Amino acid sequence: MSLVKFITSKTFLKQIGLALVALFVLCYVILKWLDITTNHGKFETVPDLKGKSINVAKLELDDNNLVMKIQDSANYNPEYPKFSVIEQEPASGTKVKEDRKIYITLNPSGYRKMTIPEGLIDKTFRQVKPTLEAFGFKIGKITYVDNIGKDMVLKLTHKGTTLQAGDKLAKTSVIDLQLGNGNRP
């Protein structure tokens, strides 16, 4: 039998027709199954959780059929209460599917503790100031005493307590400096 006769035969055309019908039915069944299992067209709205406590956030997400995932936070924000939500992903008002994970970042209880670096004593104020600011500390009151080293850092204090290298203070703490004024004692 030649190829042309085989392609135009009734049996071959019947098999091609059955294959096309089976392919159409299979595609239709798969698309309907996907519509049902993916909740096509059904969305939940992400609530605004910023500033709310973790318990309130959990209740709101449960009411909207969403799942809460907590991310670690090291950035304290004084504008929000302790252990409240400061960030969320996806943003509030976003339309998402049911059981979507909503990632929230909590505000820690306070600024994290930073270590006073070594080698600040007997350095100039110009060297010490950027180092302390890079660690997140603020420069407070500057006092001068008689010392031959002009603007040389002689002592670091915080609320009247002398600080040593290795001491820990909360970030944004104010550190007072005692400097030399360039006069002989």
Q: Which fold has domain 44-106?
A: Trypsin Inhibitor V; Chain A (3.30.10)
71 pLDDT higher than 80: yes
44-106 with 113-180: one CATH topology?
yes
pLDDT at 84: 87
161 pLDDT higher than 80: yes
User: How many CA atoms lie within 13 Å of 26's alpha carbon, on the beta-carbon side?
Assistant: 6
- Per domain, the residue ranges of the chain are 3-37, 44-106, 113-180
Dihedral sign computed on CA atoms, order 114, 115, 117, 122: positive
**Omega within 30 of 0 (cis) for the link into 90:** yes
Among 37, 56, 38, CA closest to 47 = 56
User: How many CA atoms lie within 13 Å of 29's alpha carbon, on the beta-carbon side?
Assistant: 6
The backbone torsions φ and ψ at residue 131, rounded to the nearest 5 degrees and listed phi first, read -65, -50
**Banded pLDDT at 39 (limits 50, 70, 90):** confident
CATH of domain 113-180: 3.30.10.20
- Per residue in 167-183, pLDDT (tens digit) is 999 888 899 999 998 88
70 pLDDT higher than 70: yes
Neighbours of 24 (CB within 10 A): 10
- Per residue in 84-138, pLDDT (tens digit) is 888 898 988 888 888 889 999 888 877 778 889 888 898 999 999 999 999 889 9
Residue pair 68/49 in contact by the 8 Å Cβ criterion: no
With a CB cutoff of 8 Å and minimum separation 6, the contacts of 152 are: 122, 123, 124, 125, 179, 180
% of the chain at pLDDT higher than 90: 36
